[in-house]
Amino acid sequence: MDFSLTEEQIMIRDTAREFAQSEVEPKAIELESRHEFPMELTNKMAEMGFHGLVIPEKFGGAGVDYLSYLLVEQEIARASISLSMTLGAQNSLVAIPLMECGSEELQKKYLPKIASGEWLGCFALTEPGAGSDPAGMATTAKRDGDHWVINGTKIYITNGSVSKLAIVWAKTGTKPDGKAAITTFLVDREQSPYRTGTIEHKMGVHASPTTELIFEDCRVPASHMMGKEGEGFKIALSTLNAGRLSVATQCIGIAKAAYERAKRFSKEREQFGKKISEFQAIAFKLADCAVGISAAELLVQKAAWLKEQRGARDPEFISLAAQAKLFASEMACRVTDEAVQIHGGYGYMKEYRVEEFFRAARLMELVEGTSEIQRLTISRWELRD
């Protein structure tokens, strides 16, 4: 088994690393403190082709393999988790379902806009009464001639306030078995306006807007239905399966950023006449952090390989993606907590940034399926007959 990256993957990773270190890192603290969407940096990412990493070249994208995209995601997350959220939304939550389930007409019209960064997209699934259980959604779509009329409210939508396109899930009826028929729609904000409601005040990740989206008699052309009517739940799960690897690699980026700062600080800080890295208590903390990061990287690599081989709906991939997301998110929480502890009082101060990474890591145990949902997914695979 060869764990080495290809020359192309190394080049893509290093390009992202250089951009993150030179362009993003110097502005990261200011962006978080202002609570502003980083439009200038977002546009620069688009110019570098990062918004369309997974999109085929015929639609203006880079057409790279999924691991290459994940490597870019990790490097951006090391500098700014907020900016990496936009990157993840464009690639894993918007482009992928459009590529896999959108009509050729929709792909030709919208994928180039996403790849170029001309348009930002969002993934609108979660509702006030439907988080871990999407089947409990209240948003409806009713057929009216050659349109669908959508009514409902979505919450916790990354980049909802700056999006021009939303992938939206709504109930369109009832299946023969009595379960809700959930269908997926591509909603063009210019053609089918939707409103931004509350912009949430969060514990962290302040430069990435998390918003409420309100759909009031939103008329969407019938041609904008993605996949078949009633198959939206499958599309959502498939998208989330791949997206969990995106979250896992963001966690690795967060953990690496905190770990590197803690290691550097421990080599500089002196107490009782020597560097604190020379104390076994600190050295062992750093060792545990290194093990966790390495293990998470291997899980993500294997899951990315399996996705390329079998696709995002393969049962074994689904379990492995859940394992990667679960382990990496909990690892990031442990590593960032230790980074704060190693810094002591300095770790509580914003200028050292480890407290920022600590707050960001806590989010990762919640998004794209909580840790409890990941354990449910994994246990179903392990206990299969």
| HEC per residue, the chain | CCCCCCHHHHHHHHHHHHHHHHHHHHHHHHHHHHCCCCHHHHHHHHHCCHHHCCCCHHHCCCCCCHHHHHHHHHHHHHHCHHHHHHHHHHHHHHHHHHHHHCCHHHHHHHHHHHHHCCCCEEEECCECCECCCHHHCCCEEEEECCEEEEEEEEEEEECHHHCCEEEEEEEEEECCCCCEEEEEEEEECCCCCCEEEEECCCCCCCCCCEEEEEEEEEEEEHHHEECCCCEHHHHHHHHHHHHHHHHHHHHHHHHHHHHHHHHHHHHHCEECCEEHHHCHHHHHHHHHHHHHHHHHHHHHHHHHHHHHHHCCCCHHHHHHHHHHHHHHHHHHHHHHHHHHHHHHHHHHCHHHCHHHHHHHHHHHCCCCCCHHHHHHHHHHHHCCC
Whether 122-230 and 233-382 share one fold: the answer is no
The catalytic residues are 368
| Class level of CATH domain 7-119 | mainly alpha
**HSE (CB half, 13 Å, CA atoms) of 248?**
33
| 122-230 placed in CATH 2.40.110.10 | yes
| 233-382 placed in CATH 3.20.20.190 | no
Angle at 241 between CA 10 and CA 105, to 5 degrees: 85
Interatomic CA distance for residues 360 and 349, integer angstroms: 15
State the pLDDT at residue 202. 97
State the pLDDT at residue 176. 87
Q: Is the dihedral of CA 84, 85, 89, 93 positive or negative?
A: positive
Distance of CA 100 to the CA centre of its chain: 18
State the pLDDT at residue 214. 98
CA torsion, points 350, 352, 355, 358, in degrees to nearest 10?
140
What are the angstrom distances between the C-alpha of 46 and each of 21, 31, 112, 157?
A: 17, 18, 11, 21
Q: What residues does each domain of the chain span?
A: 7-119, 122-230, 233-382
State the pLDDT at residue 1. 67
CB 61 within 8 A of CB 53: yes
Please report, as a single letter, which amino acid is at residue 327. F
Question: How big is the chain by its Cα radius of gyration, in Å?
Answer: 21
Interatomic CA distance for residues 117 and 90, integer angstroms: 9
What is this structure's pTM? 0.96
State the pLDDT at residue 80. 97
CB 84 within 8 A of CB 127: no
Q: Please report, in tens digits, the pLDDT of each residue of the chain (385 residues total).
A: 688 999 999 999 999 999 999 999 999 999 999 999 999 999 999 999 999 999 999 999 999 999 999 999 999 999 999 999 999 999 999 999 999 999 999 999 999 999 999 999 999 999 999 888 887 899 999 999 999 999 999 999 999 999 999 999 999 999 888 889 999 999 999 999 999 999 999 999 999 999 999 999 999 999 999 999 999 999 999 999 999 999 999 999 999 999 999 999 999 999 999 999 999 999 999 999 999 999 999 999 999 999 999 998 899 999 999 999 999 999 999 999 999 999 999 999 999 999 999 999 999 999 999 999 999 999 999 999 7
Nearest alpha-carbon partner for 308 in 64, 56, 93: 64
